Structure 1
Amino acid sequence: MSGISDVRLTLYAGELVREQDGSSRISAPEGLGMWGLFQHRLASRRALLKLTDEQLKDIGLSSEQARREGLKPFWRE
């Protein structure tokens, strides 16, 4: 395996552990109010739905994972 693959696996393993703990959080810019957070989620989820399979592969997501996250309502974490 290359170094990049090792790093990606390490990061992904950490995400899996956080999901199991229920502590998985998507970071948003600090200082946003409730409506700013909602707007940030909406914009980032729309952008996620527009990514190509190649772009999703670059960030380590499957198209199913991206679709699931992208279709979440903006008020859900």
Structure 2
Amino acid sequence: MARSAVSRELMRMGGKPIYRAGFISDNGHQIIDIHNLPIDIPYELEEKINNIPGVVKTESLRKIVLVNLCATDDAIQFID
């Protein structure tokens, strides 16, 4: 199955792939979230992921905004 092969390749790249059980894309494809994947150059990483056999589409890594937040019951604090 492509999901297993794609997940193995994502692990080789340093990520932790997690299958989003119970969800499919608008076109009926399975969804894999990737955690802890090092993103040094977003454009290159997106191209590398898109070239993995079995990958249909990635959400654009170019749109990632890195913000650190600390949330409590009372407030949300932005951390530099």
Report if TM-score (shorter chain) is over 0.5.
no
TM-score when scaled to structure 1?
0.30
Greater RCO, 1 or 2 (C-alpha within 8 Å, sep 6+): 1
| Higher relative helix content | 1
| Higher relative strand content | 2
TM-score when scaled to structure 2?
0.29
